[in-house]
Structure 1
Amino acid sequence: MENHAQSLFSLLLLLLFTISREVGAQAPFRVYDDCSLSKLFVFGDSYVDTGNFQNSPSFKPPYGTTFPGKPAGRFSDGYVLTDYIASFLKIQSPIPYNMRDTVGKSNLTYGMNFARGGSGIFKTLVDGPNMTTQIDFFQNLIQQNVYTKQDLQSSLALVNAAGNDYATFLLRNGSTKDLPFFMKSLIDQLSLDLKRIQSFGVGKIAVGLLEPMGCLPQATVFTSYKNCMDAINLVSYSHSQMLLQAVKNLNQEIGKQVFITLDLYNAFLSKIAEMQKARAAKPTLMNPLEPCCVGVSKDDFCGSVDEKGAKKYNVCEKPEESFFWDNFHPSQNGWHQVYNAIQTSLQQLSQGKF
């Protein structure tokens, strides 16, 4: 899977150089006592998946070495965005959907995570439930009365996806010619998905803007980890601007403020810039554009082993100083930095100012 993902991103790099001509140490979790939301339902990809992609590297060493101390299905050395959002609500991270039948009913108290690594808004090249199917799972649980109307009214839905959709589109089409049209269709479908989640009676819905894909290590390796790739980031920026307008339209259409955006795009950029500035003053700090866990050769990846089980990857000395864990995903420290950057948006959930 990882080798396939690497080829996807390599093609993404080659194709998106022309896109500018075609489309515009950690502190404790911070929580808010006055937030009335008590459940979390999660939809999307590996940035919010906490254990649904069961045949993936996320269930193999060295993933999970910081938390919970062993692989547990998170694409990180520890916490991911879902865990930090749950901490804001002062609840436990919701149980992954694939584990719902192996735990007691009390484990369903805090909601459920339907997100799966490799998935997208549309169907991607990685086999698994896309956004529509994830919402179908949610609807089935509601119809089975697993969650009541009151449960839904006091819940937050976290939605984050799109990066895998762009990689899949470009691999299948081999051209950026129709990318603006695809971007619009992606936003249109996501808008329908968000409306559908809201139609079940979910109290608040937070949707992540697209991370700057040109800053992911799989892209920055082409600059020797010195700079983000602006041509690729333009895609993320354009997508995020369209999504901001779509969310504004949804709130106006519904007639009340249900939807909020989490600005992952600027959160990534600002925190990476801060870490680069700190490193300029102290060169021994880790480069935020470089992954902590990497394969020993171009054909290996974080978690690779040979036929005898010997590891074929290296892990940085201080994961707590890294921003990225592997070629695509933030480390626990990276997610903590992003979480700090989106505090203002999260406060709006409890203060009713969005």
Structure 2
Amino acid sequence: MAESHHAVGGSYRRHHGSMKLFVFGDSYADTGNCPKSFAVSWKEPFGITFPGKPAGRFSNGRVLTDYIASFFGIRSPLAYEGRNFGEKMEGEGMNFAYGGTGVFNTLVKEPNMTTQINFFEQLLEEKVYTKHDLNTSIALVSVGGNDYATYMAQNGSLEGLPAFTTSVINQLALNLKRIHGLGVRKIAVTAMEPMGCLPAFTASSSYQNCSGTKNTITKFHNQILQQTVHKLNNESRDSVFIILDLYKAFMSAFKKQENHPGSSKFENPLKPCCVGVTRGYSCGSVDESGAKKYTVCNKPELSFFWDAIHPSQQGWHRVYSALRSSLHHLY
């Protein structure tokens, strides 16, 4: 325990210099795995704030993964797809997250969470990482939203939702146990964001009101997740699994910031910075002749959301600030 007391000194960096971060999930965590040929994350204006051009992140800049890596004093882990381009891969771990994916198959054909863990297992079999590497390893799991988006797109009923949620969480629990079983020491899993507050669902009220129904779905998911993670921790000797409460973090960012002087104020937190010019278009859309069919706000740093689904860099920074106290449990 003494170690944490002089975390400010050199011991912190020394101890965490060898830390590895392994990331699984969706666009909230993806830093460049989706195919360049069609993913919007590789098109302008994504990446305009960081690194200055599109680089595979679903935001104008950094995403959750980047902030969590910075918390541990390491660089953001390499995107799994990037290993083919001769980048040194062992470094800080690896990011297996692909935008649009879920616990189960979704509307995109990118690898679901089971397949992402298969990729990780393959690297362990190839001895890219040793048991020693995994002693100081942490996993970040960000998943769930796309499973529900798929359920709704395929006309799943409200009555069927509780059973669907149970199946999602049961599979997620198996996945979490599997990652731990492969040797990862601690695992952070995100509770689902308030789905009803995503601009995709607040647009109909001119970005004024969250959808209560969709937030109820999210709350139920998070409640079952909480119970399941509690059970998993009781089965393991030390608390291996921690929940990063995105619901609470998003909600606290939406609140007016009068009581936090100096913190960034979001003009209208439910309104995205980058939007399609009309309903048929979205952030990053172009027409046949390549003309832009979207508009970008003047000051992205005043927007919590970058597009209809994803926080801006500033939005993620605020979420990260709200999650910091939870991240200490990963030591």
Q: TM-score, normalised by structure 1?
A: 0.85
Q: Secondary structure at the match of 1:53?
A: coil
Q: Which amino acid aligns with 2:314?
A: N
Asked if 1 retains the 8 angstrom alpha-carbon contact of 2:24 and 2:140, the reply is yes
Asked if 1 retains the 8 angstrom alpha-carbon contact of 2:60 and 2:313, the reply is yes
Which runs of structure 2 are paired with 1:175-186 in the superposition (5 Å)? 175-186=157-168
Picking from 315, 328, 334, the partner of 2:315 is 334
Q: Which amino acid aligns with 2:45?
A: P
Which runs of structure 2 are paired with 1:35-184 in the superposition (5 Å)? 36-37=15-16, 38-54=19-35, 55-105=38-88, 107-184=89-166
What residue is the counterpart of 2:231 in the other structure? Answer: 249
What residue is the counterpart of 2:3 in the other structure? Answer: none
Shift in Å at residue 175 of structure 1?
A: 1.6
Which runs of structure 2 are paired with 1:182-201 in the superposition (5 Å)? 182-201=164-183
2:260 is the counterpart of 1:297: no
Shift in Å at residue 274 of structure 1?
A: 3.1
Shift in Å at residue 227 of structure 1?
A: 1.6
Q: Which runs of 5+ in 2 are unaligned?
A: 1-6, 260-264
Query: Which whole-Å CA distance do the structure 2 matches of 1:32 and 1:300 have between them?
Result: 48
Picking from 315, 333, 337, the partner of 2:296 is 315
Q: Give % identity.
A: 57
Moved more, 168-177 or 93-102: 168-177
Aligned residue pairs total: 313
What residue is the counterpart of 1:271 in the other structure? Answer: 253
Q: TM-score, normalised by structure 2?
A: 0.91
What residue is the counterpart of 2:192 in the other structure? Answer: 210
What residue is the counterpart of 1:287 in the other structure? Answer: 268
Query: Which whole-Å CA distance do the structure 1 matches of 2:45 and 2:8 have between them?
Result: 33
Q: Which amino acid aligns with 2:64?
A: L
What residue is the counterpart of 2:4 in the other structure? Answer: none
Deviations 1:105-127 (A, max 9, x none): 3x421000000001000011111
Shift in Å at residue 133 of structure 1?
A: 0.2
Root-mean-square deviation over aligned CA pairs:
1.6
Shift in Å at residue 309 of structure 1?
A: 1.3
More helix by share: 1
Q: Which runs of 5+ in 1 are unaligned?
A: 1-30, 279-283
Q: Which amino acid aligns with 1:219?
A: F
Q: Which amino acid aligns with 1:170?
A: M
Asked if 1 retains the 8 angstrom alpha-carbon contact of 2:186 and 2:241, the reply is yes
Consecutive aligned runs of 4 or more in structure 1 exceeding 3 Å deviation:
31-37
Shift in Å at residue 32 of structure 1?
A: 6.5
Moved more, 33-42 or 291-300: 33-42
Higher relative contact order (CA 8 A, sep 6+): 1
